[in-house]
């Protein structure tokens, strides 16, 4: 993204909303935007394959593994406003396990893109399945959307909950129930 584009963008946005792009507080905004965009949209430069580059198979572990409350921040593709929350992931390995931080990195790959929560949940579980080939997995995501809090219906405490279920978690209600019980503790 060029500095020229961001200068023009801030100038035109300022004019559109009735602001003065030349005032002191806005003069360095194009540079600040460039730096912010590098973080906010960093997911486009990463892949799930990079995240799961090294997996482990030291013991035949086949019990449920749960990673709870991975916080994330994303940008709504509909309004370009943030949404944020937590994702919890459960899976039962088949042959390999991944490092704990790999799951946070996987969430970041997809959260740091223009996104919907439904898509984020889907992409996390699909890539987990593709990269680790577990017996099953479940992802639960809860988030607050500023497009609903700051504008529109302005409901401050409303959150959206999405989930995705694959393999044994879908086939066996006891496995789903165990995962959900882990989330309550």
Task: Give dist(CA 111, CA 108) in Å, integer.
Answer: 5
Whole-number Å distance between alpha carbons of 136 and 129: 8
Report whether 147 belongs to an annotated binding site: yes
Q: Return the closest-CA partner of residue 86 out of 165, 40, 143.
A: 143
Burial, 79: exposed, middle or buried (Cβ in 10 Å; 0-12, 13-18, 19+)? middle
Q: Please list, in sequence order, all residues whose beta carbon lies within 8 angstroms of the beta carbon of residue 146, skipping any fewer than 6 positions away.
A: 76, 81, 82, 83
- Pair 155, 149: CB distance under 8 Å: yes
Binding residues: 76, 79, 147
Binding residues for Zn(2+): 76, 79, 147
């Amino acid at each position: 993204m060029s500095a020229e584009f961001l200068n023009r963008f801030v100038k035109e946005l300022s004019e559109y909303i009735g602001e003065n792009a030349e005032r002191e507080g806005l003069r360095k905004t194009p540079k600040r935007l460039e730096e912010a965009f590098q973080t906010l949209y960093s997911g486009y430069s990463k892949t799930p394959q990079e995240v799961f580059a090294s997996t482990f198979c030291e013991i035949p572990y086949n019990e449920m593994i749960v990673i709870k409350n991975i916080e994330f921040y994303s940008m709504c593709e509909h309004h370009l406003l943030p949404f944020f929350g937590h994702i919890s992931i459960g899976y039962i390995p088949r042959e390999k396990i991944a490092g704990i931080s790999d799951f946070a990195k996987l969430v970041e790959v997809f959260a740091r893109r223009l996104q919907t929560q439904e898509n984020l949940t889907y992409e996390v579980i699909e890539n987990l399945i593709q990269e680790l080939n577990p017996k099953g997995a479940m992802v639960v995501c809860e988030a607050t959307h500023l497009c609903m809090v700051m504008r529109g219906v302005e409901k401050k405490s409303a959150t959206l909950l999405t989930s995705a279920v694959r393999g044994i978690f879908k086939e066996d209600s006891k496995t789903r129930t165990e995962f959900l019980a882990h989330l309550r503790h």
